Each structure stands twice: as C-alpha cells, then as structure tokens.
Structure 1
Amino acid sequence: MAGMTLVANARMYAATPAAAAAWKLFFRWLADKSGVDLAVIDYAFPAPLAALWSRPDLGAAFMCGFPFVRSQYRPKPLAAPIPAGARYAGRPVYMTDLVVRADAPYRTLEDTFGGRLGYTVEDSHSGYNALRHHLLPYRSSLRPALYGKRIGPLYTPRRVLEAIIDGTIDLGPLDGYALDLTKRHEPAVAQRVRTLATTDPAPIPFLIASADCPDEIVHRLRSALLSFGDDPRCAELRDALCLAGFAPVVEADYALIAAWDQEAQAAGYSCPA
C-alpha cells in the first residue's frame, strides 16, 4: 500500500448537501494533519455500504457498530465521533429518535401502534436494532405485533425522514446525530417532524480504515482525529459538523449492540413490527 492514495467518505453522516460539503473539508484537514494522502470520493445511495467498508484502499469512512460486531474480517477502527449537545454528555454515543410528522395527532409512542412503521436496513443499529430494542417491552403474547404494516428497507435516515414527511409511514427511526446535522443545515426540513421517543444511548458509528491498512498509517490518522476537538483552526468545522471531537474506539463497548440483538432474537422478535 506504500505510495497509494487512500479513499475517504462520510456517506453515513452526509445528512444534507451542506453536511456532505463540511465532511469533505474535514477529510482535507485530516489529510493535511496526518500527512496521509486521502482522496475524498462520492459514494451515495444506492451504492452498497458493505462494498465501501471492504475496499482495500479505504483510509477513512464511517461504519455502524452493528455490522462491525457481526463481521468476521473486521476493518481497523480509527476514532469515534463525539457529537456536540447535552444529551451526549461528551461521550461517543448516539440515540435513535423515533419521529412522526410534526402535524400528526400522536402524542405518545403507543398512539402510533397499529400504524405504519418504517425502518432503514436489517444491519443498521439506529434504524433497526435500536428501534427493535426500544419496542420490545411493549410486546406481549396478546400483542406480538405492534404495527399494522412494516415498510422498508428505506436504507438511509434521509429516506426515512422523507417517508415520514410525505405520509408513507407514521413512525420512523432517525439516527439522532444525523438528525442533529439536518437540524443544523436544513432546519425547515427538520421542523416538519417531531420526536415522540428516544432510545437508550449506544456506541456511535466510527471511522474505520481497511483491514489491510498499515498500522503506521492507522496511527497517523488516529492521532490526527484525536486532536480535532482541540484544534483552534477547526472551530467552524466542528460547528458545521455538530461535533465536540473524537474519542478512541473501545471495541468492547460495542458488545452492547450485539446484546440488544440477542435479546430480541431470544424473545422471537427478529423484525421490528
């Protein structure tokens, strides 16, 4: 891999065009700070994320913890984002906001039962696993299914947001950090939905490099990322990305995500419904 240009992409958190542009600036800063040659590539839906995560020339891209803990050939973790905002308490965590249209009549989560539930994709934590974990206590032998119809896969938080706004679904799961970015850059869009409930926090998706990426390059990228929160040159970029900084990835923390999956499977609740 010596002399090779590595690729970088923020597909998971390119929540709006302005956020995507800010991530491109971020990766340029990362390349400059680390001395690693990074080429920022476009990789929009419907291109499969699994193909991005398995690229041998991957230098930096976000990966969800759910597919990471289920992977047999894991990429190398770089660092985990620390979203700005009081609810994150300075930790590399996130939540799923369960949202409805702003003008919908629902006042509680239970009010949506019997309606149409959306989800992103089965290997998503925020759009599937966390949603299922939050709904699990509401189920019973008399009510094994909470919703009349399950609609998906919708694949991305943006498509969930659009499905809520256009009335295709009644309730949908939105990655809380992706929703933060939408509120920051497209407040008029974000104001068209309303949060009814929020899941428990879980370890957030983190930046990875290829499993074949040399350790020396991984170290340089990781060191640069961990300095992002304190770099005075990055104040405007942190604001644009709704970030406080980055933290080391503690792989053991992501066992929580696997535990939530196992709990739902054991209860016979393989699909949120």
Structure 2
Amino acid sequence: MELIASTRMYDVAPAAQAAWHALLGAAQARAGLDARFVEYRWPTPIGELWGLPGLYGAFMCGWPYALALQAGRAYTAVASVVPDWPAYQGQPRYRSEFLVRADSPWCTLADAAGSRYGWMVRDSQSGWNAPRAVLAKLAIHGGALFSESKGPYGNPRGLLRALAGNEIDLTAVDGWYLDLLRVHDADALAGLRTLAYTPWTPNPLLVAGPDVDSATAARLSRVLLTMHEDPQHAQLLRDARVARFVLPEAARYVRLIDMEREALARGYPEIR
C-alpha cells in the first residue's frame, strides 16, 4: 500500500509548505519509510483527504478526529505540534481569532451583532465548532446574531479575502494558521485586526489512517517525538516554527464534542 502525507492545513504559503515537507520528509527517512505528499487543495473538501487509503503523517482537524473516534473509525494519533511562539506556552494547543477590518469601531464580539458573518466549512474546529461555541453564549435563546451568515468560503485565505473585500464584517480563523501567515505572508492580513479569541483547545494532529497498521504509525511517531533532541534537526524545526512534537492524548479531544453539544443545548446549531 502506498503511503500518503499532507500538510494542507498549514501550507499557508510556498515557504511554509517547503518547511513542512522538509521536516516531515526527514522524519520519514529516519523512520525508514516513504510517504508521498499530496496537496488536495481547495475546492476539494479536506474531508475527502482524510478518507484516502494509506494516510500517514497528515494533519487532521481535532474535531473530525474526535468524531471519527466516537463513530469507531479510529485514526492513529502520530504526533501533535507544540508551536514555538510564546503564547502557546509550550503546549500543543491553538485557538481561533475573530477578525474584523482594522477600521472597524467594534471593541467586543457583542458589538458585531447585526453584521455579516463569514464562515469557512462546517467540519472545522477552528472555523466552525469553536466560534459557534463562543457565539452561542451571546445569542439570546439561540436566536440570530447576524444579519447574514455567509459560507462556505472553503479555506482561511478565502475568508481573509472576503473580509478585506467587504463581503463580510466578521470571521474566525485558526490562530496557528494566522501566526504562520504573519511569518510567511504578513501582507495577507493588511487592513485586518483581531477582535477576540476562542478558548485554547488541543490543536490539529498528525494522524495515520485506519488502514495503516499501528506499528508503521509508531515508527514515525517515535522519530517525531525525539527530533528536538537532535541538533541536526534544529533548523528544520525552526523553519516550520515547531518547538517539538508530543504524543497526542485522545481523551483531550473529546472536549471538542462537548463544545458542540453545549451549542446545541443553547439552541444554536448554526452560526447565524
């Protein structure tokens, strides 16, 4: 069986993609394995990527990962990234940033009531589940917060273009993605600012698909978890803005399903 890998979720710019491929390619080589990188760019839904046979060392969103576990379709958790910015405090976590245009007068999310909201896709933790959980607490009896809720825009770049182009007034984007974008293509955020944040949650993780045997997955995992101890990999880690890899705790991702349940209990199944 051919093994395939993907860094689509965090290929924020060509230099970022090159850094991820170099880092994970080195780990695969050290593990004595070879996986072909596939791009699967938008408009192909990322959910199709996670269903491909031979998935090995591909980034997967934490909420779909938890839902798959719940449904009995078990992906093997290979590794999580600890991003190397101070805000992450040495933890494999991330959050979403609510973005507005820089000239917006709003100071809080509540100020944005009645505006036009833009969302990415419905199967995203950072682009749907996390912001919905926050917005559900502001919606009175599950009612509509916005005059329009527009989507899917498909990927973070689509949301940023829509916000900058005045198609929407508020959106939420993966903060880890944005931190990488600030390094590799800061101009993409020109004229935009962060209004608020969602709570921190476990970040997307590298997985192996259900059809990849656990011993094969473990070979890559062992290499990734020790890369930060080897000076020869220091530059590869720096280029990808990775402090180190850690072993994901599957139980922590269950909380992401709880966030969905809480929004539903508040009568807020959709961002509206």
Same fold (TM over 0.5): yes
TM-score w.r.t. structure 2 length? Answer: 0.94
Superposed, 1:15-164 pairs within 5 Å as 15-71=12-68, 72=71, 73-141=73-141, 144-164=143-163
How far apart are the structure 2 equivalents of 1:234 and 1:104? 43
Displacement of 1:188 = 2.1
How far apart are the structure 1 equivalents of 2:209 and 2:105? 47
How far apart are the structure 2 equivalents of 1:122 and 1:224? 34
Query: Which range moved further: 33-42 or 202-211?
Result: 33-42
How far apart are the structure 1 equivalents of 2:191 and 2:246? 33
Q: Which amino acid aligns with 1:48?
A: P
Displacement of 1:135 = 1.2
Displacement of 1:182 = 0.2
Conserved? CA contact 1:184–1:240, under 8 Å: no
TM-score w.r.t. structure 1 length? Answer: 0.93
CA gap 1:190/1:237 in 2 versus in 1, 3 angstroms: farther
How far apart are the structure 2 equivalents of 1:241 and 1:160? 23
CA gap 1:213/1:87 in 2 versus in 1, 3 angstroms: same
Query: Which range moved further: 170-179 or 29-38?
Result: 29-38
Displacement of 1:75 = 1.8
Unpaired runs of 5+ in structure 1?
none
How far apart are the structure 1 equivalents of 2:193 and 2:36? 37
- 2:207 partner SS: strand
- 2:28 partner SS: helix
Displacement of 1:228 = 2.6
Q: Which amino acid aligns with 1:118?
A: G
Query: Which range moved further: 103-112 or 45-54?
Result: 103-112
Displacement of 1:163 = 1.3
- 1:216-239, Cα deviation, whole Å (9 max, x unpaired): 211111011112333322333323
- 1:197 partner SS: strand
Conserved? CA contact 1:101–1:165, under 8 Å: yes
Displacement of 1:44 = 0.9
Alignment RMSD, CA only? 1.5
- Report the counterpart of residue 174 of structure 2 in structure 1: 175
Unpaired runs of 5+ in structure 2?
none
- 1:182-218, Cα deviation, whole Å (9 max, x unpaired): 0010122224321000110011110011211122211
CA gap 1:167/1:262 in 2 versus in 1, 3 angstroms: same
How far apart are the structure 1 equivalents of 2:82 and 2:6? 18
Q: Which amino acid aligns with 2:195?
A: L
How far apart are the structure 1 equivalents of 2:43 and 2:104? 30
Conserved? CA contact 1:27–1:38, under 8 Å: no
Percent of aligned positions that are identical: 36
Displacement of 1:100 = 0.9
